[in-house]
Structure 1
């Protein structure tokens, strides 16, 4: 997973939920258009991030296609700076009522995203433990070899 995707997941884990505007600030601006949002759209389509504006496909009996990453990247890019309505590439999004804004829509870490971060932390600890153990064993073997060599020369 890319470093920018991991930073988004960690920020969501730390704060509980973030607005699209806050997430936009975490995304590196390489192109300045929808292409920058592919990483975030990928997190949403893979189920690492919960998008409250997407329909819950588990509630329906009929199978529905998953949202495409390209369409989501268009949507997130258009909404990232919009108040009430956004248009991009012939598609429009809007929000009505209250003080809600498109850029203020909230996203949270899903169970799958939380599990991914937890497994990554465990793997990192396991690697560090294995390296540390290897170094410690190497030092013990080297000291034992020196002691044995001195004992053999002394006899």
Structure 2
């Protein structure tokens, strides 16, 4: 990692492969822990084409990504991934700030996401950022956050 902060920009189709590698690295620590972990990096090109995707770039390398999907009544955070070399430096929080600003800009007052019960680090981050658990189904935890006028 270089000494300059990563910058965040909207993803481009050419970012798909690098974003997939970043997502794989971010979820690698969960592979042994979670037997029902879905293939989280599949379809990055489709995500970039069909949804709202941001990436954090450092020295030309994608080190984090965010996927947002507008739904009828809320904005869904479909994926937040930070490369482990960049974890704990506030990058996840910065991407979540972008998600809230985008949701508000598009007229949403509610955001939702799903995470896995065996990802306590994620649950802790989301709770710290004001998210609340609304349901559990199997290993899936659904969370929600109401947002307004930031």
Fold conserved (TM > 0.5)?
Answer: no
Greater percentage in helix: 1
Looking at CA atoms only, which structure, 1 or 2, has the larger radius of gyration? 1
With structure 2 as the length reference, what TM-score do the two structures score?
0.28
